[in-house]
Structure 1
């Protein structure tokens, strides 16, 4: 009996550890790039030129979302799933978000428009973009982002537009890599996948594993 319990304990422990290494919030593909594609599709329908997909603006849009999630306590509000309570100072976009992303400060340029909203279905969020902002003739480039506060929370999405020169503005440091973001999805030609849930904060997996094993051993002692 004891041998069977030991075998079961180690089997369950191994399965639990293995499952714990798989992120349930991993998104196949990058919905932030899907947003950019949708925006350019809407512009093409209006015979407007496509916007450059800027990784620098995409990362800044992700910072924008992070601040809105914090200020809204992870909840959507307003009509059409807009985030009416989140209105960070305009200076944060160019002075805070750019620095957090590793955007070269001399290349920071004008933000010609921005959108933010939230939805529990990321695909539905693609239908909630403001056409008037999207079709602005002054825009030359765009960056988009998705994020969520936890596995079952609503998705927050954001878009930043700029009228700056696409080839010389919002450039990232470190040979175009910038500062690595720990979670969320931001647009960029080389960003094909992402993770939209922040790292979990809780007891160490090794500590929990040790406690689980201890309980199995105690159970064996009782049986013997």
Structure 2
């Protein structure tokens, strides 16, 4: 009986430690995407861009506009939100002061069924042709905002990057200087870990651990 109790305690500690490690995962893939963009720009002798949380939140609203329809991104059925939606829908949903909206100088958008790491999304999804590279290295940009989100608790996964030529202190200004956090998905500059479908996909890695724990518990109690 004593041995079974020890096994039970070890299982509890193991599962708790694994959950603790998972809870410490606070990386935001949208921030990592911005880092990849700036690294690529500076390597090409272009200036680094300011990471604007207001613009990034709007990038997430841009994604949500597609309502999970991956076929509307690229190809013959490609769609693009109307400019009026930025002031009428995107900005209010983010808490961005409409009067501070600045023209978008470039946009990169990608979608695929499987989730990709930020570096892979940058290289394999967003940088798909010469036009994308031209947009990336344009000297007209001064700020950038990125967002990533899944749909329906999983794929397809959307990646969106918006560029603007506004000034960091005067464009895409947030009411109260705090962005409205929108779920699911995440955006750069929000000081918020990725949530919703993306974060949920990470928890799948815990299932093997949980299964092993349950098996050990069953053994300990003689089930």
The answer to whether the superposition gives a TM-score over 0.5 is yes
Provide the C-alpha distance between the structure 1 equivalents of 2:48 and 2:141, rounded to a whole number of angstroms.
Answer: 9
CA, structure 1 residues 162+78, in 2 after alignment: closer, same or farther (shift >3 Å)? closer
CA displacement at 1:154 relative to structure 2: 2.1
C-alpha distance in structure 2 between counterparts of 1:146 and 1:83, whole Å? 23
**Do the aligned partners of residues 153 and 160 (structure 1) sit closer, same or farther apart at CA in structure 2, a change above 3 Å counting?**
same
Structure 1 stretches of at least 4 aligned residues deviating more than 4 Å after TM superposition: 76-79
From the CA coordinates, give the structure whose radius of gyration is larger.
1
Distance 2:41 2:77 in 1: 26
* Structure 2 gaps, min length 5: 1-21, 127-131, 201-223
Gap regions ≥5 residues in structure 1: 1-23, 201-224
Find the counterpart in structure 2 of residue 140 from structure 1.
142
Q: How does 1:1-224 map to 2 (within 5 A)?
A: 28-68=26-66, 70=67, 72=69, 75-76=70-71, 84-119=77-112, 120-123=114-117, 124-127=120-123, 128-129=125-126, 130-174=132-176, 176-188=177-189, 190-197=190-197
SS at match of 1:137: coil
2: CA distance, partners of 1:104 / 1:144: 19
How many residues of Structure 1 are paired with residues of Structure 2 in the alignment? Answer: 172
Q: Shift of residue 56 of structure 1?
A: 0.2
Shift of 1:71: 6.3
Calculate the TM-score normalised by the size of structure 2. 0.68
Classify 1:105/1:168 alpha carbon distance in 2 versus 1 (closer, same or farther; 3 Å).
same
Deviations 1:68-127 (A, max 9, x none): 1x161xx35677xx7953321122134321111000122111111111111313223121
- Report SS of the residue matched to 2:96: coil
What value does the CA root-mean-square deviation take over the aligned residues? 3.0
Q: Cα distance, 1:169 vs. partner?
A: 0.7
